[in-house]
Amino acid sequence: MGIEFRGVTKRYPDGTVAVDNLDLVIDDGTITVLVGPSGCGKTTSLRMINRMIEPTSGSILLDEEDVRDSDAAVLRRGIGYVIQSAGLFPHRTVLSNIATVPMLSGWDRRKARRRAKELLETVGLPPELGKRYPAQLSGGQQQRVGVARALAADSPVLLMDEPFSAVDPVVREGLQTELLRLQSRLGKTIVFVTHDIDEAIRLGDKVAVFRVGGRLAQYGTPSDVLRH
């Protein structure tokens, strides 16, 4: 599913311009990385795709359809979203954390749990971890569960906000490798936010470099971006 930002500006009520007239085309089935220093509008841009944040002006299209024409809650539920802290429900087991997502779209419990078990395997976790609670997992394992839960939305679009920033460098590299492997198999449209240019270069089919003030400074393949 392609994503397009057309002249998108976000001004917060206090006057902060977080994103300034952003034009960006994200191709179907690619990983596009939004990179830049803290506060340059990456998270705001990401959250406008699933309407967690509404733009002040401009439009965002998913496969040519304005996201404003979709119900915000339905859109949010249907788009996989992974954040830095994994955001797992602490009082639910790993399996239940994942199974909740298909159950929200009406799957019965048994079918949802079966799907959740498949997804654990997809992200490289052993089935017995399904019975644990998030606090009983390492940071890297929690992020994998976060990815599995996002995949459970079964959406062509996956939004990832600094998903690997909280884990140590060795684990991070492993997670990056697996994301690339997963992507070559699943072919999702992934929008990935990071402040780490090396991570952007490693993961991105395309890299969008933001600068403070919410403007796009550069956009291209990793080698285009490295050349500048």
x/- letters, 156..195, toward ligand ADP (CB under 6 A): -----x----------------------------------
Four-CA torsion 135, 136, 138, 143, nearest 10 degrees: -60
The site string for ligand ADP over 75-104 (x = CB under 6 A, - otherwise) reads --------xx--------------------
Residue 83 tokens read as 């954040």
Nearest to 119 by CA among 97, 135, 91, 134: 97
Q: Which of residues 14-33 bind ligand ADP (CB under 6 A)?
A: 14, 16, 18
Task: Report the distance separating Cα 219 and Cα 228, nearest Å.
Answer: 11
Q: Which of 3, 5, 24, 43 binds ligand ADP (CB under 6 A)?
A: 43
Residues that bind ligand ADP (rule: CB under 6 A) add up to a total of: 15
Closest CA to 160 of 133, 189, 119, 138: 189
Q: Which of 2, 29, 39, 58 binds ligand ADP (CB under 6 A)?
A: 39
Residue 147 near residue 83 (C-beta atoms within 8 A): no
Stretch that binds ligand ADP, among 12-20, 69-77, 86-94, 173-181 (CB under 6 A): 12-20
Question: Judged by CB, which is closer to ligand ADP: 36, or 130?
Answer: 36
C-alpha count within 13 angstroms, C-beta hemisphere, residue 11? 8
Joined together, the tokens standing for residue 15 give 């006057």
Least distance to ligand ADP, CB of residue 47, Å: 8
* Residue 65: Cβ within 10 Å count: 11
List of residues contacting ligand ADP (CB under 6 A)? 12, 14, 16, 18, 36, 38-44, 83-84, 161
